[in-house]
Amino acid sequence: MAKSVSTPGIVAGRLSPAELSENFSDLHPPFDRHEAAVAADRCYFCHDAPCVTACPTSIDIPLFIRQIATGTPEGAARTIFDQNILGGMCARVCPTETLCEEACVRETAEGKPVEIGRLQRYATDTAMARGSHPYTRAAPTGKRVAVVGAGPAGLACAHRLAMHGHDVTLYDARPKPGGLNEFGIASYKTVGGFAAAEVEWLLGIGGITPELGRRLGGDLTLEALRDGFDAVFLGVGLAGVNALRTEGEDRNGVRDAVDFIAELRQAEDLTALPVGRHVVVIGGGMTAVDAAVQARLLGAEQVSLVYRRGRDRMNASQFEQDLAASKGVRIITNAQPLQVIGNGAAREVEFARTEETAEGLRETGETFRLRADQVFKAIGQRLHGAPETLKLDGSKIAISGAGRTSVPGVWAGGDCASGGDDLTVTAVAEGRDAAEEIHAALSG
């Protein structure tokens, strides 16, 4: 943050408090009871519903929508939570437009799917507003499990283990639990401190003891965890950020997009958050879009998102791309950075035009420059500090089955583990399934 504050062109308070409040309001306002009933009535309640197959956590979507339609939203929430204990957050951040809603029969027939995500939010919010936890713990087993990483995978794993009667110690390197949900998602997708409220609600099951500020590879070692617990689950996410490997990357005004998003999420006063006048975001995934859109919402006059391949290769969904464009973000494809230009601080970024060939991506020889006083790197993250005893699959922890690693008694899931999409809902499914396998192993 110090670099940004001291860099000319990057200033705080570009917009008034009222403008910022409007810009960062809820992206998808919640349904009221009548709206939910009308939306639920559009569901065909398919017997072999394709939306269920498209859901990574296999929620019985027709059942929970029918429960909403019949006036029992808390029953609908139970149907959701049985499969996805973080169903409230997933209703807000899941790319439903490319998962369940894309598979919806109404989408195929009419081009307008049932609004499954907003219906899921209506059900889960209604249930969580009661305050009481919907599940009770089984009789204590006397078994102790260490869960490292309090993000979606770790939280889902810890909750399911606690339900089965095991005692869980939940470690996380940050001062707050929640992982990606708390620190890595655009503010307009999860307003009102929902991430923290959901964690507090989830911990209501009992039997889960958070220990924050504890980092694997720091004061925690895998060997000590294996000695002190009956099983270990690793859901540490991807803490490292890939470098641009271009000249001038170390200039003032160049920073990681994930740090910018985390800083924004934790800011109590958005008028105090500095942002550039001309912002360039390098990358093509959800993090890149979140950084670009939020830079615009903070008052940046010009924001360009630059990706080295074509639009069809971007990891960000079409909905996210359209959202960025609607907020005034300029999306430039088939261009990769050559250098960040400036005398100490960023002033421009030079790019090379690229094209796809049979031999792979190559530069065409054409270059161009974009004015930039602030540059965000969003070209992917990597696993940082993995214990040497763990077998890796590429840059992630190798797993088989429901998260079993190469080390006996150790499981892994979420972004740090091989296989699966880098989505909150996928991480929840992997944490849940690993918990069931751990429970089976501890039950003999």
Instruction: Give CATH 3.50.50.60 domain extents, the chain.
Output: 144-239+383-442, 241-377
**pLDDT band at residue 7 under the 50/70/90 scheme:** confident
CA-CA distance, 198 to 123, in Å (whole number)? 14
Full-model pTM: 0.94
| Band (6; pLDDT cuts 50, 70, 90) | low
User: Residue 4: what pLDDT?
Assistant: 42
- Choose between 350 and 380: higher pLDDT: 350
Rg (CA), the chain: 22
More confident residue, 7 or 275: 275
Residues β-bridged to residue 211 = 171
- Give start-end residues of each CATH 1.10.1060.10 domain in the chain: 33-128
Mean pLDDT along residues 362-389: 94
CATH topology of domain 144-239+383-442: FAD/NAD(P)-binding domain (3.50.50)
pLDDT at 2: 39
Distance CA 334, CA 314 (A): 11
**Mean pLDDT confidence for 416-423:** 86
**Is the confidence at residue 8, as pLDDT, over 90?**
no
Would you state the pLDDT for residue 5? 40
Let me know the angle formed at the C-alpha of 120 by 196 and 288, rounded to the nearest 5 degrees. Answer: 60
Identify the CATH class of 33-128. Answer: mainly alpha
Report the b/e string of 198-212 with b at 16+ CB within 10 A: bbebbbebebbebee
pLDDT tens, residue by residue, 316-368: 999 999 999 999 999 999 999 999 999 999 999 999 999 999 999 999 999 99
Place of tokens 């794993």: 157
* Alpha-carbon span 246 to 228, nearest angstrom: 45
pLDDT digits (tens, 9 = 90+) for 162-189: 999 999 999 999 999 999 999 999 999 9
Least confident of 56-60, 385-389, 427-431: 385-389
For the record, the structure tokens of 431 come out as 């944490």
8-state DSSP, 171: E
Matching CATH number, 241-377, of 2.40.40.20, 3.40.50.80, 3.30.300.20, 3.50.50.60: 3.50.50.60
